[in-house]
């Protein structure tokens, strides 16, 4: 008996999937457990295995095409089995166009021609010719000859100046050297080289499944959660020294992002109201910290999750984030690795961005935006010295996180960042 293979729901937010690659073609035998295809979801590309033995009798979606969840993508059955009824049942029957009733032609009523009334020609009144009075003048404007000194003419030729446009200041309007030197053209077109013609152009690309999912989720978040933002600036000299010593002594190349991630996870454990989720009937405060770390990929943004980040050391956090980032670029993350976050951090400091605001990654209640480390003059003990600072922006959902709650969170986080040794205690 033929088995219908539907587009699976591979993540909790998946509404449609893209068939990235078929590993079987029509007529091939398929065994249970064999990889049938690769399906691209809104978050990752997953291998889809067959749950049936038989022959691949029908492929309902081509490579690169997108189909909604639960739509037919393939049929597996016995060789030679008739599946026409299955295929027909899964297809959309187009309605036959209804015949359009022909309208009877309306009789044309001929209108009687209106009599043409000839207008009497108006008499032509001959105007008396005006007397042209020419005044004798020695100026350049009344004669075809232009008075110009030989030196001025030479300079005008060298500079490409049309002497007809120059007003002379010499005797009888004669153009002299100073007129050429001080001449400023009002029309610069004579000095501009012709440019090649420029035409408008553009190109387009189809939105990927990931890009459409990002657009939908961020729009839902921005317009459903009342966002507000809190900003703070941290001194980074101690963290720069801490990282340098840690790398030299432990021989582990951790990043500033790893240290910040650890500091955030410890801060969340002390401020569970920020580590929360909104429901219409209740608010859930999480004791564990599942830290989402935004990673930029070719199609957009993906957020792998470091589970129980508050109980992991810097080496473990560094190792997981690095592994997630590499596999995210190849779309090899599993659904379990990109779901379940309780808080998210987004770091654009590596691109030189000093400060920015992020949209909350729901169902989280907040997201932290991390800016670049900037060297600049700062005040220490009443003196102006050169120091390093970093700006943080916390976006909060006002339904769960009040202003005072978010402020206390940033205060504790600032203490960890400016005294990073306390992270190890």
Token pair for 323 = 């592994």
- Report long-range pairs for 82-85 (Cβ below 8 Å, ≥24 apart): 83/2, 83/57, 83/58
3-state SS class at 60: coil
Q: Which of 52, 227, 288, 398 is catalytic?
A: 398
The string of DSSP codes covering 293-360 is E-EEETTEEE--EETTGGGS-HHHHHHHHHHHHHHHHTT---GGGGS--SEEEEE-GGGT--------
- Alpha carbon distance 254, 261 (integer Å): 11
Backbone φ and ψ for 16, nearest 5 degrees, come out as -150, 160
Contacts of residue 417, defined as CB under 8 A and 6 or more positions apart, other chains included, come to 234, 236, 239, 259, 260, 263, 390
Q: Which residue has the tokens 């102006």?
A: 384
Q: Are 153 and 163 in contact (CB under 8 A)?
A: yes
How many CB atoms sit inside 10 A of residue 25's CB? 8
Pairing of strands 291-293, 343-347: parallel
The string of DSSP codes covering 41-53 is -SS-EEEEE-SS-
How many contiguous H segments (helices) and E segments (strands) does the chain have? 8, 18
Residue 398 bears catalytic tag: yes
Longest dimension (CA), the chain: 113
What's the first-to-final CA gap in the chain, in angstroms?
A: 64
Token pair for 7 = 């587009």
- Alpha carbon distance 30, 50 (integer Å): 7
CA 20 to chain centre: 23
| Residues annotated as catalytic (active site), given as ranges | 398
């Amino acid at each position: 008996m033929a088995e219908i293979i539907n587009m699976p729901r591979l993540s909790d937010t998946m509404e449609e999937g893209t068939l990235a690659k078929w590993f079987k073609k029509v007529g091939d035998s398929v065994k249970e457990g064999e990889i049938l295809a690769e399906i691209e979801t809104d978050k990752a590309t997953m291998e889809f295995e067959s749950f049936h033995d038989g022959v691949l009798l029908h492929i309902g979606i081509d490579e690169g095409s997108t189909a909604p969840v639960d739509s037919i993508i393939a049929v597996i059955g016995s060789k030679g089995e008739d599946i026409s009824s299955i295929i027909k049942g899964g297809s959309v029957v187009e309605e036959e166009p209804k015949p359009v009733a022909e309208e009877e032609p309306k009789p044309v009523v001929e209108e009687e021609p209106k009599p043409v009334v000839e207008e009497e020609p108006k008499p032509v009144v001959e105007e008396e010719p005006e007397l042209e009075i020419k005044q004798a003048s020695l100026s350049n404007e009344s004669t075809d000859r232009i008075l110009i000194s030989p030196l001025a003419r030479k300079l005008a030729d060298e500079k490409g100046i049309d002497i007809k446009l120059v007003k002379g200041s010499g005797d009888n309007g004669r153009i002299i050297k100073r007129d050429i030197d001080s001449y400023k053209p009002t029309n610069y077109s004579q000095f501009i080289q012709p440019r090649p013609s420029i035409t408008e152009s553009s190109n387009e690309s189809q939105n990927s499944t990931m890009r459409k999912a990002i657009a939908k989720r961020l729009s839902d978040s921005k317009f459903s959660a009342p966002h507000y933002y809190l900003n703070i600036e941290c001194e980074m000299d101690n963290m720069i020294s801490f990282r340098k010593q840690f790398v030299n002594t432990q021989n582990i190349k951790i990043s500033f992002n790893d240290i910040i991630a650890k500091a955030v996870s410890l801060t969340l454990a002390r401020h569970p109201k920020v580590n929360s989720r909104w429901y219409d009937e209740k608010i859930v405060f999480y004791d564990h910290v599942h830290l989402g770390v935004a990673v930029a990929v070719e199609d957009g943004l993906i957020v792998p999750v470091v589970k129980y980040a508050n109980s992991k050391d810097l080496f473990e956090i560094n190792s997981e984030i690095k592994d997630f980032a590499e596999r995210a670029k190849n779309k090899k993350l599993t659904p379990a690795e990109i779901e379940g976050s309780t808080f998210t951090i987004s770091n654009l400091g590596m691109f030189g961005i000093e400060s920015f605001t992020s949209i909350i990654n729901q169902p989280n209640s907040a997201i932290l935006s991390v800016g670049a480390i900037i060297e600049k003059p700062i005040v220490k003990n009443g003196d102006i010295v050169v120091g390093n600072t970093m700006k943080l922006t916390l976006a909060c959902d006002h339904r769960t996180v009040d202003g005072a709650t978010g402020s206390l969170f940033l205060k504790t986080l600032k203490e960890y960042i400016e005294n990073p040794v306390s992270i190890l205690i």
